[in-house]
Every structure is written in C-alpha cells, then in structure tokens.
Structure 1
Amino acid sequence: MGDGTKSLRYELLAEIGEGSYGKVYKAREVGEKQRLLAVKKFNIRGHTSENGIPAFMIREVALLCKMKYFNHPNIVKLLDASAVRVGLSLDLTLVLEYIDQDLSTYLSKVPASGLNRNCIKDVMLQLLQGLDFLHTNMVLHRDLKPENILVSSLGEVKIADFGLARIYTFNIALTPGVVTLWYRAPEVLLNSVYMSSVDMWSAGCILAELYLLRPLFQGYTEVQQLQKIFEVIGLPSNEEWPQDSPISYSVHWGPKSPCTKLLPNLDPDETDLLSQCLAFRPSNRISAAKALVHPFFMKH
C-alpha cells in the first residue's frame, strides 16, 4: 500500500467461508515462515457511476492499512492490506493471522454444565483488553459478536473484523442477507448517534452468553430486537429516549420494570458488570478501561 514494505507472498489452500461481501481463504505463506494465513477478498461496489467509491470507504480502507502496525495480543494481526480499483468497485484483500476457531464454535463445544467462572473471566478480560486498545486508538468495532471473536488453541482471545463494519453494512444494504441484530446496541437499532459505547453493549451481550451458552436477545427484526431488550432491562423513560431517533417513544415497547435479575445465579459483581454494560443510555454504560478494573476481575 505504498508504505515501502513488500507484499506478503502466499498460496491459497482452501476456501473456508463465503459471505455477501466476498470470500475467505486459508492460505500458507511462501518462504521460510510457512505461517498459516486467512485471506479475505472483498468486492465493494461503488455507490453510483458518478460517485465511484464512497469517501468513507476510502477512509476505512486507509484505517485498515494503518492497523497493520497495531500489535496487541487481543487483536487479530492484519499482515497485509491492498485495495485495487476495478471500474466502479474496489477489490480489497486483507491478509490476517490464521486462527481456526471463533467464539461461537468454542461455545458450541462447552458441556451443558457450562463454562467455569475463571474461564468466563479470562475470555472477558482478554476481550475488554482488546476493546480498550481499539477505543484508545479511536477505532470502534461496531459489529462485535461471537463470530468476530477468535479463540486460539492456546486460549488467546482476539478481536477480528474491526474497521470493517461500515464496509459490511454498506455492502449488505445492497445484498439482502441475514444480519445478526442480537449484539446491536439500542442506539444503533434506534438509528441514533453512537460512539465507542456500542461495543460495550455487545460485550455485555457476550458476557451474558458465556453464562447462558445462548444469545441473550434473539430478535429477527429491529422492532423485535428492541422489545426483547426492554423485556430484560425494562422500558426507558421518554426522557432517556434518544432525541434524534426517527423511531418514536411508546409505552407499548415493553414492561416498565426490568426483570428482577438480569440473569439468575449470578453473584452481585457479575450482575453489576453486566448491568453496567447493558445500560440503555450510552453515557451510563461502563467503558472498557473501567470494566477492566471492575471487582468482577479482582477476586478469584
């Protein structure tokens, strides 16, 4: 990408995934290292013939390229990024370290008796360390979910696909497909402004899932998703409702009072951290940095 480094050479071994955005391949680096790699190829269609590629997309790709220099144990390492303009679209190739399991696969293998508490703490600690690092570098993930969190064979937790959410969303708007709403913050569902606290809502949903072994809020439309959220956290007041949302407040959205306990069987620290992640108002939600020093992590 014009930074003077020579691009990584690899051979594709197998296609391991296909989405509305493109394909993912398992690959091996050519040369001494012979590392396994994940290669993601996107074709991003331009807006319209007169506009070509939207400016936000150029910025987002530039951000991805800058992220090559991020080096954090809880962030998937982006080893190479290249973008080639093809007519009105952009071919984007990302080369990443290869980790063969995501958190949803990991959770599907957990026995019915559940994950032990130390394991839950360990996963959350690593996830929040990664989020804190992204937020400190002014990067929002915007689409954090178990499929975007990788767990290596050594138990390392790494956040993947950060910086891509806007590209995905743009492309998916052009490609009807199923997009998971289950980890999406209320302000996003309400089309209101959002900031890094959107990722903390998703982290709260993931924390609950580590206990439940199933997603906490499973709605299939935005309206249904909001209703499921309010069934658990209670309906916010009219004053708390975002002013800029095109969706108007109604008392029929859900029950006034929340469930007595967010999740049964949690101790007070677990409940407190979860409720601070799942606060309706973004400004009341705990930050990743604060969550890392929450009593939840302090006792063994």
Structure 2
Amino acid sequence: MTSFLSGMNLDLCGAGVGLKIFEEYINGEEKKMEEALGGIFKDTPMFALTEEDLNIQYRSKLGEGAFCTVYPCHIRSRATNTFNESLPPFALKRLRRDLEGMELNEAYEDLRQEAAIMRGIKHNNLVPLIGMSEQKDDIPKNKLFIVVEKLESTLDKKLEKWHKILGPMKKMTPKDTVKLRLEEVVLGIAEGLGFMHSKRVMYRDLKPGNVGFTYSGTVKIFDFGLAVRLSEGTKLQGKAGTVRYMAPEISRNKPYDLSADVFSFAVLLWQIITSRTPFEKEIPKLDFGPPKVIPEGKRPNLKYVENQDIGQLLEVCWAENPSQRWNFDNITMELRRIVEQMESSPTKKKKSSRGIKLSTFKIN
C-alpha cells in the first residue's frame, strides 16, 4: 500500500522553514497562534505523527461518532522533547478501536478522504489539518488518526445563549447585534464555504454544531467528514446532512450540487440573525420519533427579519430552484454591502437599493 503521505514535503527532523514555524506554534505565545497556524502550511502541508508525539487526554473526550472519537491532545516539541500544556490543546480524531471488518475498512477510507479534503482547503475560516498518523502496511488500520486545531467554543452553544437573551417574549434581535453577527460570524462562514466551492468541494453538513470559534474569536467551519469534491458539471444523489438545514432536493433524494450548501447557509443565516430555531415546530429538538421532513415549500418566517435586504438575500439563497441560488462570491459581496449600509444608517430600515433581479447571480 502506498503511503498517503508519500510525495509530501515533510521535514520532521531537519531545520526546514515549515518545521520552524511549527515549533514556534508549539512553544510560542498564545497571541501568535493564528499567525503560526497559517504559516504551518506555507512550506509543509502536513506533519506525520505517531502516538509518541502526542499527549492525549483520554479522560476529556470531546465527542464521539459512529466511527471516530475526538480527544484533546498536545504535541511534543522536537526542540525541548516536552509537551507545552500552557498552550491550548489540539483535537485528535481517531478511529474507534472496536471497529473491525467492513466497518473498519469503510471508516478508514472515510477518515483518509477527510484528511485529503482538508489538505486542499487551507483558509482562515476553515479548521486546519495539523498532522496525520503514519500509514504503513505494518500499522493496523484502527490506529489511524488526524490532528486538527481545537476550537474554544461552538456556534450551537452561542445560539443557546442568544435564544435565552431573547427572552420568553421573543423580541426582535437589535439591529446593532444583527450587524455585529453579520461581521463576526456570517461573513466568515460565507467566505469559508466560498473558498471550498472555489476548489469544487461541497461541505454537505452546515449546521451550528459544525461551526466554532478560536480562542481569539475567529469563526471556523470544522468536521469535514461529509465533504466531497465535485468535478465540473457533476451532481450527487442520496441523503446527506441534517434535516433542519437540508436543501429540499437532498431531502427528496434528487440530484444536487454545490447550491445545496447555499440553501443550508441561508437557513443558518436566518437562525443567527433572529436567535430562533428554524423549523422548530416541524422538527422539535427533543423528538425521538421517526425522522421528520420539512413540508414542501416551507421556509423560516421572514417576519423576524427586519432588514429587507437580508430578507431578499435569504429568499434567493433558499430558492426552490437550485439554479436561482447565488454563489458565495456574490453572497459575500452582498453581505458586505448590507453591513456598510447598516453602518451609514444604523437607526433606519432601508429598502433595497440594488436595482437588480434576484436571479442575476447563479451558482458556479
């Protein structure tokens, strides 16, 4: 079997620039974390790691799925041969040790695919791949793991707080708060997804639980387990994602493409600016019955969206016809225009001044 790491510029024991930046991250001050993380990938795409390189905190499990478990970990500094636990930890995602047979083979290929996707999408609003276990014929498949940046908090936790702040009367979200969330949360998500789409990578599972924030507050998308690369003109078929945010063509088991991510983004945008749960009646949070579906044509209520331009953006992004949804370049451009408009007239609700048809921009 050819190593997944073959052909990569790995300088694990020399004094290469990539390793130097990596060591600065491991030993450096917390304020240099963001800069160092970006520098890791400039010269060295990824680092081959063994379990001896890691101090894994097995008692502090971060999460668990059907095939993988996630733990916090620190990486040994090759300069001092120690673990600097004064820095925030990374996140280790590894295959469950009890997997075997076909299930193990499937999980192994899925995690390798996730790592391959992450290698090709390095962006400030996407969680970076730090390293991956060595893959050799004499290493059991169930020892496969990847190491990624660990985030400080997640969007779903913030949304819970925002919902409580809204109160039992469910007031409208203040306009200044909407503007702040557009700037600090929504734009970063749109730019991260836009970069993925520019590389023909579809995310397929956008939801609050897959969006988080670094210790310095940067919003980042994480968990690329369902991400897939699409060649030009191709479509996928088969259900994938979370029903509450799922595009109608996916829920109906019809062919879909990158535009399905745009639909999910629109539902999440509505949730972020209204502090409400989309389709709360249709899909109760604590419902353990049969899987639910969103009624055909149903969308979150725009009466909770005061800004008309945001309302129009939502309508075009969650359009029933996928070909009418905008691409993320145009979504980002429009979001920036809306923010600028809100800055110039923070107390007024302006009508749209675009003077363009909603179908002008199409998905790439």
TM value normalised by structure 1:
0.73
Does the alignment pair 1:193 with 2:255? yes
Please tell me the residue identity of whatever aligns with 1:12.
I
Q: 1:198 to 1:88 in 2, by over 3 A?
A: farther
* Contact 1:262/1:275 (<8 A) preserved: no
* Aligned counterpart, 2:92: 39
User: Could you say if the C-alpha distance between residues 223 and 231 of structure 1 is closer, same or farther in structure 2, counting changes exceeding 3 Å?
Assistant: farther
Structure 2 CA distance for aligned equivalents of residues 214 and 133 of structure 1 = 28
Pairing partner for 2:205 from 143, 146, 169: 143
Unaligned runs of 5+ in 2: 13-47, 229-240, 284-288, 344-364
Where 2:93 maps in the other structure, the secondary structure is strand
- What percent identity do the matched residue pairs reach? 24
1:1-300 → structure 2 map (5 Å cutoff): 1-2=5-6, 3=8, 5=10, 6=12, 7-8=48-49, 9-13=53-57, 14-31=60-77, 34=84, 35=87, 36-43=89-96, 48=102, 53=105, 58=109, 61-62=112-113, 64-65=115-116, 67-68=118-119, 70-82=121-133, 92-110=144-162, 111-112=165-166, 114=173, 116-122=177-183, 123-162=185-224, 164-165=225-226, 180-218=242-280, 219-220=282-283, 224-227=292-295, 230-232=297-299, 262-294=302-334, 295-299=337-341, 300=343
1:147 is paired with a residue whose SS is: helix
Q: Secondary structure at the match of 1:40?
A: strand
- AA partner of residue 232 (structure 1): R
Deviation of 1:102 after TM superposition, in Å, equals: 0.9
Whether the 8 Å CA contact 1:270–1:296 is kept in 2: the answer is yes
Q: Is the 8 A contact 1:53 1:88 kept in 2?
A: no
Q: TM-score, normalised by structure 2?
A: 0.61
Structure 2 CA distance for partners of 1:231 and 1:202, relative to 1, 3 Å = closer
Alpha carbons 1:38, 1:98 under 8 Å: kept: yes
Structure 1 residues without counterparts, runs of 5 or longer: 168-178, 234-260
CA deviation after TM superposition for structure 1 residue 276, in Å = 1.4
Tell me: CA distance 1:43–1:198, structure 2 relative to 1, closer, same or farther (3 Å): farther
State the alpha-carbon separation in 1 of the partners of residues 245 and 73 from structure 2: 30
Cα deviation, 1:113-152, whole Å, max 9, x if unaligned, reads: 6470222211111111101100001111001111111122
Task: Give the structure 2 partner of residue 247 of structure 1.
Answer: none
What corresponds to 1:251 in structure 2? none
User: Which structure's CA Rg is the greater one?
Assistant: 2
> How far apart are 1:59 and its partner, in Å?
7.9
Q: Measure, in 2, the Cα distance between the counterparts of 1:72 and 1:204.
A: 21
**Cα distance, 1:20–1:151 mapped onto 2, change above 3 Å:** same
Cα offsets for 1:208-256 (capped at 9, x unmatched): 11123232124458984321x62337xxxxxxxxxxxxxxxxxxxxxxx
Distance (whole Å) between structure 1 residues aligned to residue 151 and residue 207 of structure 2:
16
3-state secondary structure, aligned to 2:293? helix
Closer/same/farther in 2, CA of residues 188 and 16 from structure 1, 3 Å limit: same
For residue 61 of structure 2, give the secondary structure of its aligned residue in structure 1: strand
Q: 1:153 to 1:216 in 2, by over 3 A?
A: same
Question: Residue 56 of structure 2 contacts residue 72 of structure 2 at CA under 8 Å; is this kept in 1?
Answer: yes
Shift of 1:88: 11
The structure, 1 or 2, with the larger RCO (C-alpha pairs under 8 Å, 6+ apart) is 1
Contact 1:217 1:225 in 2 (8 A): no
Deviation string, structure 1 residues 34-89 (Cα, Å, up to 9, x no partner): 4520111134968859xx946x9748724623533543110101112347589997
* CA spacing shift, 1:298–1:24, aligned 2, 3 Å: same
| Counterpart for residue 243 of structure 1 | none
Moved over 6 A (4+): 44-47, 85-89
Alignment partner of 2:254: what SS?
coil
Partner of 2:24: none
Q: Following the alignment from structure 1 to structure 2, what is the Cα–Cα distance between the partners of residues 232 and 154?
A: 34
Cα deviation, 1:74-110, whole Å, max 9, x if unaligned, reads: 0101112347589997654121011121100122223
Higher strand share: 1
Task: Give the secondary structure class of the aligned counterpart of 1:23.
Answer: strand
- Alpha-carbon displacement from aligned partner over 1:185-218 (angstroms, at most 9, x marks no partner): 1111011111111111111111111123232124
Q: Residue type matched to 2:153 in 1?
A: Q
CA distance in structure 2 between the partners assigned to 1:125 and 1:59 by the alignment = 29
